[in-house]
Amino acid sequence: MDSKEHQVDKAAKIQAMKDWAVANYNKGADTIVECWDTAEHERVLAQEGGSLPKAIKFMKRLASIWAERQADADYYARGEC
């Protein structure tokens, strides 16, 4: 794969990561959508060896943690504890 093809492939993976985050906005990925820039997506993709499935898996773990924290905050804010 030449450099240009690599950049197109990388850009497509980054876009897929962003699309996943938007699709899962209300499931904890809101922080990814609102706070991550392209460099952060690139960092995660590189961290996961350029593997899109692994990068998405990493993002899913983060989103689930953030969703759980938000649910806890909502619970305590309602005074149900």
Q: Is there a contact between 17 and 44 (Cβ–Cβ < 8 Å)? A: yes
In 1-81, which residue ranges form alpha helices assigned H by DSSP?
Answer: 3-23, 30-35, 38-47, 52-77
Q: Where are the domains of the chain?
A: 3-77
pLDDT digit string (tens) for the chain, length 81 residues: 567 666 779 999 999 999 999 999 999 899 999 999 999 999 999 999 999 999 999 999 999 987 676 766 667 788 766
pTM (two decimals)? 0.80
